[in-house]
Every structure is written in structure tokens, then in C-alpha cells.
Amino acid sequence: MSAPTGITRVTLLKDLRLEWRSKDAINSMLFFSLLVVVVFSFSFDPSAEESRQIAGGLVWVAFLFAAVVALNQTWARELRNQVLDAYRVSPAPANSLFIAKTLGNFIFVSVLEALMTPLFIMFYRLRALGPAWPLLLVAALGTWALVVNGTFFAAMSLRTRSREIMLPLLLFPISIPALLAMVQATTSILNGEGARFWIVLLATYDLVFTTVCLLLFETVLNAE
């Protein structure tokens, strides 16, 4: 049997190939985020100071909602033609699938963030008062927090009748500590303040929830 890392790699490449051909997730996420940026920019006309205060919340809530679209898509394509059963009857470990899916979603949401961030900066005239590079760390940790739980709960709601509704119902409450840390860290960095506490909190959140998801995923995958 292939090493689990090899299976993770081929599964991730397969997902990237499928997304490249269908563009289901990335298109839906982009349009959704674009709408949020444009609608909010018309609704408010914040000053530079106000933008720094609200940008953290606005950006992360937009990314959270957009990520849900990608997270639903990621498992939907495994349900079409019941392809997931082919994985389940194979000797491939369940966690290889989970890690590949999480990495795939991480890439999709990161691409979205990379494309949308310049627009956010432009529309809201954002300028950090201190060094902005810690935002990259917050973005990486925050995105991982969203996608690791999102991938897990999307798998959990896979066999429910209204899974599009189930996913946010399960995901949003459990993401509140991470979302709080992401928003606070972003706002602190934009205002030139230290964000060490929030970044450590986010890293701890990631570590705990990644471990829990890895421990439980096989049970979720084989649930009937």
C-alpha cells in the first residue's frame, strides 16, 4: 500500500485538478466575497480610522461565509456517483483523505484571500499603522481554523438531508473562539498594537481542533 502521505498527495492533486476543470468552489466563493465587498462599501463610507476598526470583522466574516461554499462543494463531488464508497472500500487511510481535503480547502480559501485582499484595501482605504506582515500569520492560522473544522463538519453533514444548512449550523458556533481571535488580531495589527495573545490563542485552537478532527474522522467517514 502507498504511504499515507503519498495518498494524501494524490488525493490533493486530484481535488486540485477537479477544481481547475470545474471551478465550482472558487467561482462561487469569489462572487460571494465580491458581493460582500461591494455591498458593504456602498452601505458604509468609513474613514481610514473607522476602517481599521471594522475591517477585521468584515474581512473574516466574508471569508467565513465564502469558505462555507467551498466546504460544501468539496464533499459534494465525492457524493456524485458515490465515489466516496470507492475510497471507503480501499485500504487507504481515512485521515489521508481528511488531510488532503483540508489542504485543498486551505489552498482554495487562500487563493480567495489573495485575490480579495487588494480589493478590501482599495475599497476601505486600509493602511496599517505598524508592520503588516503579522497579518500573513493571522491569515494562515485563521484560514486553517476555518477549513479544518469546516472540512470535518462538512463530512459530518454529508448524509443529512439539508447539508447546506447543517454545515453553518455546526461550523459557526464552534468557530466563534477562532473568529474572535482572528478579528482581534487583525484589528490590533492594523492599529499598530501587539497581537501576540490572539495569535497564540489561534495557534492553540488550530492544534486542538486538528487533533480532535483527525481522531474522529474515520468514525465520521464510515458512519451510515
Partner 1 sequence: MTAPVPVITATNLIKQFGRFAALRGVSAEFAGGKLYAILGDNGAGKTTLLRTLAGLNQPSSGEVTILGAQKFHDICQQVGYMAHPSLLYDEMSGMENLEYFARLYGITSRTRCAEAIRAVGLDPELVRPVGQYSQGMRQRMSLARALLNDPKILLLDEPFSNVDLHSAADMVRLLAGLRDHGKTIFIVTHQAALLEGAADEFVWMEFGKIVERTRDLKRLEIAGESPRGQSQ
List interacting residues with partner 1 (CB under 8 A).
1-2, 6-7, 10-11, 14, 17-18, 21-22, 77, 80-83, 85-92, 222, 224
Alpha-carbon span 89 to 64, nearest angstrom? 33
Q: How far is the CB of 90 from partner 1 (least distance, A)?
A: 4
Q: What is the CA radius of gyration of the chain?
A: 18
Q: How far is the CB of 182 from partner 1 (least distance, A)?
A: 33
Burial bucket for residue 220 (CB in 10 Å: 0-12, 13-18, 19+): middle
Question: Residue 185 phi/psi, 5° resolution?
Answer: -65, -45
For the record, the C-alpha cell of 204 comes out as: 492553540
Q: How far is the CB of 178 from partner 1 (least distance, A)?
A: 32
Q: Which CB, 10 or 30, lies closer to partner 1?
A: 10
Number of neighbours of residue 178 by Cβ within 10 angstroms: 23
Q: Which CB, 82 or 162, lies closer to partner 1?
A: 82
Q: Which CB, 24 or 30, lies closer to partner 1?
A: 24
Alpha-carbon span 158 to 72, nearest angstrom? 9
Q: Which CB, 207 or 223, lies closer to partner 1?
A: 223
Which DSSP string corresponds to 55-83?
HHHHHHHHHHHHHHHHHHHHHHHHHGGGH
Alpha-carbon span 126 to 110, nearest angstrom? 20
Q: Which amino acid belongs to residue 51?
A: S
For the record, the C-alpha cell of 53 comes out as: 476598526
Alpha-carbon span 56 to 67, nearest angstrom? 16
Q: Which CB, 26 or 178, lies closer to partner 1?
A: 26
Q: Which CB, 21 or 161, lies closer to partner 1?
A: 21
Q: Which CB, 50 or 85, lies closer to partner 1?
A: 85
